[in-house]
Structure 1
Amino acid sequence: MPSTRTWLITGASRGLGRAFTEAALSAGDRVVAAARDISPLATLTEEHPESFLPLALDVSDREAVFKTVERAAAEFGGLDVVVNNAGGLLYGMVEEATERQIRDHLDVNFFGAVWVAQAVVPHLRARGSGRLLQISSMGAGGGMASVGFYGAGKAALDSVSEALAMEVEQFGIKVTVVQMGGYATGLFTTGTTATTPDPAYDTLRAQLAEMWGDDAGPAPSTAAPALLKLAELPDPPRRLILGDRSYDLVQEMNRARTEQYEAWESLSRMAPG
């Protein structure tokens, strides 16, 4: 990989995407930053006129994704690192969500990420190298009340990304599913679509609010050094939990799942297959 890399980062105008963008620029790399609203990126354009290109993009629009990737690759002579980060949150119980809300959510969080992956792979394959970092969530391994559709989209992305990693490794492309912990990204505010609350779930909603508390998590900038390190590894992992506390929580969830499987092993083995 060249000493000066070219990054394509989606969802780059705020949160983790903005933090990754600023870190890559500070490292001396070039960045194409894609977001629905690129106006918050104006200061970076002024500070890095030769190495920064903001492009307006709605990742749910497949045709627009392919056109934007073509322009991004042409601007700096190719792509080296792609951070598939754009996404949002659908907050509410499964019963409460409308069909439109569910489809719109998955159009961005799952299908949008797939469109980006499909668009960039030919460019990375042509170079015989490249990194595709699929930004997922520590919660992708199982459902959680009130954020079930967010977890579903990330779980689907995780599965597709592992398949993609196997498919494109032969071309020198490395894919890593980055399971992010909780950071103060604004996901639960500006990035949220909320269902209309059903009073039947008021008690559970209150319990969840008490369990989660008011801690928004560390600043997104604290995750950037680890992501840059990941992009440099010659043989990166296919999955990485990003977050100190999150690592412990994911391990706890995995142990609890294993214990449940083992507790019901006899019932599992009643059926052939």
Structure 2
Amino acid sequence: MIVQWYPGHMQKAKREILELNKYIDLYLILLDARAPLSSRNEQLEVLIKDKPKIYVLNKSDLADETKNHEFAKYFQKNNQVAVCIDSLKGTNVKSILKIAENLLKDKIEEAKQRGRRKIIRFAVLGIPNVGKSTLINKITNSAKARTGDKPGVTRAKQWIKINDYFEMLDTPGILIPKLEDDTVAIKLCAIGSVKEELFDKEFVAKKTIGMIKEEYSHLLKAKYSIDFSTLSEEEYLIEIGKKRGCILKEGKIDTLKAATMFLDDLRKGKIGRITLDEVVRR
């Protein structure tokens, strides 16, 4: 088990969602496009199954473009909608409100017939560091929601008015309960959704290299100029350390520093556009 988590966290999250559900018209399920399935919390989705949802695959600029299209199609089922965005640059962000308005057009029309204005209330759900506050800031063209590059920056629920017709609720990141699954945990650690003090960076870096070494070998070779074919994951990490000057005083390779650099390169897209999950074929 590489990540320590607490079972009470999920129970608290469930209670909060059940309490909020009666006020919400629609949910934005914010996923990390680099690991859409691993960053999804299906247990919470069961609690809101009666409400419309938009699956928003954020950080799509860092993910494999072909897989972005595959995952968008994967989520476009059961009368739900999926959209790939880049919340930092604002790519496709404006389309979210249009999609929401279309999904709730019957409620909007019903309110008009009664002489009322329908205020559409969103809730944004997602794991830590998936870009919830950045998305809201981009939609509102402001910095009303605190943002950061570390998990847990948004610590309290807050309603944010977008315009006269839309309000959004930004919630603290809810980490999924599947961290007993090492593969899921490794992926979430690799993309930066788990606080670094909770996991072994060298272990995660080596396992991540093992996950991507075949499909993305061309990106690894282009970035680090290392032929992976004859090396183990540990040996590859050592070679990265040599290339990047991660040398300790006694001449040994500082593999922790090399692992930190590798994970930073991965998260910032410096290796290339990489997706860690595979579309489930049914």
The TM-score normalised by the length of structure 2 is 0.38
Q: Decide which structure has greater helix share.
A: 1
When Rg is computed on C-alpha atoms for both structures, the one with the higher figure is: 2
Q: Structure 1 or 2: larger strand share?
A: 1
